[in-house]
Chain A
Amino acid sequence: MNVPASWYLVLAAVLFGIGAFGLLTRRSALIMFMCIELMLNAVNLTFVTFARTLSDIGGQATVFFVMVVAAAEVTVGLGIVVAVFRRRASTSVDELSELRG
């Protein structure tokens, strides 16, 4: 069965939208991380899709880079979240407003 490329792209757009919506509406740092991962992976999906339709390996190679960066980012981010949680027993990002102008 041959799935058309547009399906993948629609799926990626839906995933990206869900991620973006979640990022904007949720306050828990952990959930926001998950949303960011969702958005990153949505983008990854578009890369892979285009790599296939255009027969260009560059797209797939980029996906690896994105995954590596995402993994590194999660490590740092989770470290920060754990540190914050230790100090105030909450991961609500709205409470972290010390840098407000």
Chain B
Amino acid sequence: MAHVSTLIVVLPLLGYLLVLVNGSRLSERQIGLVATGVVGLSFVASVVAFILLLHRSNRQVTVHLFNWIDVGTLHVPAALFIDPLSITMCLFVTGISTLIHLYSISYMHGEKDFKKFFLYLNLFVFSMLTLVLANNLVLTFVGWEGVGVCSYWLVSYYFDRDSASSAGKKAFIYNRVGDVGLLLAMFLLFSRTGTLTYVGVFAKAGSLSPTVATLVVLALLLAATGKSAQIPLFNWLPDAMEGPTPVSALIHAATMVTAGVYLLVRMSPVLALSSSGRMTIAIIGGATAFVAATIATSQKDIKKVLAFSTVSQIGYMVLAVGVGAYAAAIFLMVSHAFFKALLFLGSGSVIHALNGEQDLRKMGALQRFLPLTFPTFLIGWLTISGIPPFAGFWSKGDVLTNVFEHNKILWVVGVATAILTAYYMSRLFVLTFRGTERFRQVTHGHDPHESPWMMTLPLVLLAVLSVLGGLLDLPWIHHNSLAGFLRSTFGYVAPLHAQSTVSQYGLAAVDIAAALIGLAAAFSIWRSRSEDERLTPAFLEHVWYWDDFYDATIGRPLEELAVFSDVVVEDEVIDGGVMGIAVGISRSAEGVRKIQSGFVRHYALAMMLGTAVLIVFLVARVS
């Protein structure tokens, strides 16, 4: 067990080092295969660890690697914590990473910095696994920052493009704001419990006062809003689409952005102590889900639609966490990883076919030309829209059922979001694959071509997973499924009222109706047109002017402060002070130098007068 779980983390790091050291001697394909291979092996190790864990009665294993920090009362080991939650994360992180690595070999073919791309990708997987498997908050924080910096590097991968480098900076800075939350939570917990390991904190969680618990939960929520792109820190994610599409699929859809949700779920025993904190989480999640969905309806860039969709779906997860439905959150996280990775990789395939074009208005009627991308994308679209029997229906249904029990208003918001989800995804689908051909200008009249097998194989596998993902947790076998497997790791699970079958079927019917309404609306509107000013209002297209708001309230005042510091503080106060002293000395020196006339007799006279004064003084003193 210990060796296998260590391997999960070490293998991607090994791949990183191998490519780093031997990169110049390996060909492009070899680099890709090494990088993909280690992540694949890491997946195998995760599967083995998972099976071993299943056969244990005590499903919490701590693998101590070495003592990392040992100062005073602060003991931070570098240790792995394997329990149902972390192994679930490992499985889907490594699994999807493998597929996306494979996809990237072909997608990134011929890029100038091919090697760099895989280096960062492997380092990212290593950091993500550190984050997930760490047995204490400090080590999690290392992984947390690791994925953040890899995300930054990969977003600004095309750093010679101005927009890419500024998008990277934006992502980094937004994340930094969130990181403060995680740090504050750690400080608070350490000062109150004296330990930072998860097990230790949970054991002493009962001694936290309600106020402290609420503060910790809010700090964790701040961390989650940064990493998982929730209100108020969500705007970095759409900009992060400047990175290569596999990066968007892996980091900004499937894995890294769910780290915030993972953190909240991991800290569920602390969340259990603060109902007001959980309520805040639920409201933030619900609001984000809805706001992002409205924005997604008006985006013109295929990847931007998917980005806002990701924000919206993570909003669902956070909402689920807020109502104490942790299993539902993880279920949605896993199935979302399947179908959103599928959708992103599918959009990558479309973009690849159209020579890098991302504008929905220049697509259309691609169904005929992309025989594998089309059906897989179709599955992804139906899955996210919530059509049974695909994974999205079950996972979203699970979340909404839990929300319904807890808070009716948030449930209405959730259903409205589901309608919008079906609507914007159908719009995306119709504009891309149906309708009229609008891409001839982009392809210079040629027919678009399907991508090579390395890109389509992951699509097919992810499509299969999207279809079957619902089996992880069907509502009538909760005890013997993902939810049952995970249950032991949660500190508190909202009591699931024995719901009548009627109400369960009723809620499911509402979900299906919501999906169908969205689908029908989108098809009737977008089948015959590619743009419509009234349906994509500027307010939504410009993200509720959220960026402008931050610009006006934070950016502009800070800039003015900087200008003030430059012009007034720097130029006048500091420079003026220094120059004033210098000028003063120079002026007084001008006066003093007149004494130095250069005439010997002047000096002699001065000496004599001085002597005379001295004598007079001495004589006066004596007498």
List the interface of chain A (C-beta within 8 A of B).
20, 23-25, 27, 32, 93-94, 96-101
Q: List 26 A-B contacts (CB under 8 A).
A: A23-B601, A23-B604, A24-B601, A24-B604, A24-B608, A25-B601, A27-B601, A32-B600, A93-B599, A93-B600, A94-B599, A96-B598, A96-B600, A97-B597, A97-B599, A98-B598, A99-B596, A99-B598, A100-B596, A100-B597, A100-B598, A101-B592, A101-B593, A101-B595, A101-B597, A101-B598
Please give the number of chain B residues whose Cβ is less than 8 angstroms from any Cβ of chain A in the complex: 13
CA distance A25 to B600 in the complex (A): 10
**Looking at B595, B599, B605, which has the most chain A CB atoms within 10 Å of its CB?**
B599
CA distance A98 to B604 in the complex (A): 17
Are A101 and B599 in contact, CB atoms less than 8 angstroms apart? Answer: no
Closest Cβ of chain B to A35, distance in Å, is 9
A20 / chain B contacts, CB cutoff of 8 Å: 608
CA distance A25 to B605 in the complex (A): 10
Are A97 and B601 in contact, CB atoms less than 8 angstroms apart? Answer: no
A32 / chain B contacts, CB cutoff of 8 Å: 600
CA distance A23 to B601 in the complex (A): 7
Known interface pairs A93-B601, A100-B597; 11 further A-B residue pairs with C-beta atoms within 8 A, sorted by A's residue number: A24-B601, A24-B604, A24-B605, A27-B601, A93-B599, A94-B599, A97-B599, A100-B598, A101-B594, A101-B596, A101-B597
Closest to A20 in B: B608
Are A97 and B605 in contact, CB atoms less than 8 angstroms apart? Answer: no
B604 / chain A contacts, CB cutoff of 8 Å: 23-24
Closest to A26 in B: B601
CA distance A93 to B602 in the complex (A): 11
Closest Cβ of chain A to B608, distance in Å, is 6
B595 / chain A contacts, CB cutoff of 8 Å: 101
Closest Cβ of chain B to A17, distance in Å, is 11
Closest to B597 in A: A100
B608 / chain A contacts, CB cutoff of 8 Å: 20, 24
B601 / chain A contacts, CB cutoff of 8 Å: 23-25, 27, 93
**Looking at B595, B597, B600, which has the most chain A CB atoms within 10 Å of its CB?**
B600
The 6 tightest CB contacts between A and B, nearest first, are A101-B596, A100-B598, A97-B598, A101-B593, A93-B600, A24-B601
Closest Cβ of chain A to B604, distance in Å, is 5
B596 / chain A contacts, CB cutoff of 8 Å: 99-101
CA distance A27 to B602 in the complex (A): 12
CA distance A29 to B600 in the complex (A): 10
